[in-house]
Chain A
């Protein structure tokens, strides 16, 4: 399968998920995010990496914000515009601990702590905010076209 043509000027698509905090929801999100990334113009390997990063962000919400509770709520907003994908995730669980983000040494055999490294490596910008309405994860990935 060849890579899709990059999306034209003026293109946009917004996909929103309102899902419970069960891991069984993740494959559905991955399928959509992968197709969005391919549509914006990323090749297969990059689309898989973007999909993995979003999956890791959602898994972190389930594990660390909600501590595995299955009946909580997660919002995911995926906004695709020309050459760019933006992801916003909201939860109402425990706020992320800044000291634990990318705290794990890379290349070691420590168990766990890899997800935030994946997110930082794959995305161009990543930020975490907590406010009255909950915790927001924001990430942006921009397409770099070959000259």
Chain B
């Protein structure tokens, strides 16, 4: 798994590539919690994510709750069909704000 962080407008964008599983989800958690620090919005780019398991989904829920506590937005975009399947299996689609593109994710809501 590879994680990179950049800023785009009012959002901090985190790009994640590869596989998020029991072994790698702690690294994703650490990166997302750090990225939440400064900007009012955190946008997670999942376009190059090939695999995510329930530990990865749990990490995203934990980050969402933390963001809500800080009154910040947490937006997901670029979900591949494989990642969408896991969201559907875990019934978490409605919990997150999910958009198609980075432009939508960083645009003012």
Asked whether A27 lies within 8 Å of B21 as measured between CB atoms, the reply is yes
- Residue pair A111, B54 in contact (C-beta under 8 Å): no
Contact check, A118 vs B22: say whether CB atoms are below 8 A apart.
no
- In contact, B85 and A27 (Cβ under 8 angstroms): no
Structural contact, B82 and A48, CB atoms closer than 8 A: yes
A residues near B62, Cβ cutoff 8 Å: 111
Decide if A112 touches B90 in the complex (CB within 8 Å): no
A49–B89 CB distance below 8 A: yes
Report the stretch among A9-17, A51-59, A90-98 that lies at the interface. Answer: A51-59
Number of A residues, CB within 8 Å of B: 28
In the complex, the chain A residue whose C-beta lies closest to that of B93 is A107
**Contact code string A100-126 (vs B, CB < 8 Å = 1, else 0):** 000000111111101101100110000
**Which one, A48, A49, A107, A111, contacts B65 given CB within 8 A?**
A111
Q: Would you call A131 an interface residue if the criterion is a C-beta within 8 Å of the partner chain's C-beta atoms?
A: no
A67 on the interface (CB 8 Å rule)? Answer: no
- B6 within 8 Å of A (CB atoms): no
Most chain B CB within a 10 A radius of its CB, from A52, A107, A117? A52
Residue in A closest to B52 when the chains form the complex, CB atoms:
A52
Is A26's beta carbon under 8 Å from chain B?
yes
Selected from B23, B81, B91, B92, the residue in CB contact (under 8 A) with A26 is B23
A45 touches B22 (CB 8 A): no
Give Cα A118 to B94, complex, Å.
17
Q: Output the residue of A22, A48, A110, A117 with the most chain B CB within 10 A.
A: A48
B13 CB contacts on chain A under 8 angstroms: none
How distant is A18 from chain B, measured CB to nearest CB, in Å?
19
CB of B65 within 8 A of CB of A118, answer no
* Pairs A–B under 8 Å by Cβ, sample size 13: A22-B23, A23-B22, A24-B23, A45-B81, A49-B85, A55-B53, A59-B55, A107-B94, A108-B95, A109-B64, A111-B58, A112-B54, A118-B90
Residues of B within 8 A of A (CB): 19, 21-24, 51, 53-55, 57-58, 61-62, 64-65, 81-82, 85-86, 89-92, 94-95
